[in-house]
Amino acid sequence: MQVSVIAVGKVKDRYINEGIAEYEKRLRPYADLNIVEVREERIPNRASPAEEAQVVEREGERICTVVPDNAVLVALDLRGEAWSSEDLASRLRSWEIEGAHEIAFVIGGPLGLSPAVLDRARVTLSLSRMTFLHTMVRLILLEQIYRGFRIMRGEPYHK
């Protein structure tokens, strides 16, 4: 199975990059992982709601150009469904059974995802009702995908 994580912006913090690299390595036996970064739009100081909407729309256009056509699109959004790790494992299994070859998880920028991306998503998922740095969400998501595959395969997660 191909798993893509499409995210707005670059991760600049070394500790987050190290964690991402660790989970990329751990995921290799379970899936082909592809991390795609799209350019983050600059948010003007004291941006009006209209300017913020333009930022989100431009980032959404960039995201839509890199989402594979046949992928199951999972958009991460604060207003999405809250799943347990077991729920994620169950979804991964069901998508695998239905023949999905690619799952694409999308992480927006600081202002979230555009309506165009959310409308295109098959599922809208919330990792928490708390707000996280959008760069940190990558690490949290990769850990949960790894955990989901381990659960799905009946393998212990904790060492």
Binding-site residues from annotation for S-adenosyl-L-methionine: 76, 108, 127-132
At residue 95, what is the residue type?
W
Q: Is the dihedral of CA 136, 141, 146, 151 positive or negative?
A: positive
Q: How far is CA 26 from the centre of its chain?
A: 17
The H or E element spanning position 38 is strand 32-38
Tell me if 16 sits within 8 A of 135, measured CB to CB: yes
Residue positions forming the annotated binding site? 76, 108, 127-132
- The order of strands in the sheet holding 32-38 is 32-38, 2-8, 102-107, 72-82, 123-126
DSSP summary character for residue 44: P
How many Cβ atoms from other residues are within 10 Å of residue 115's Cβ?
12
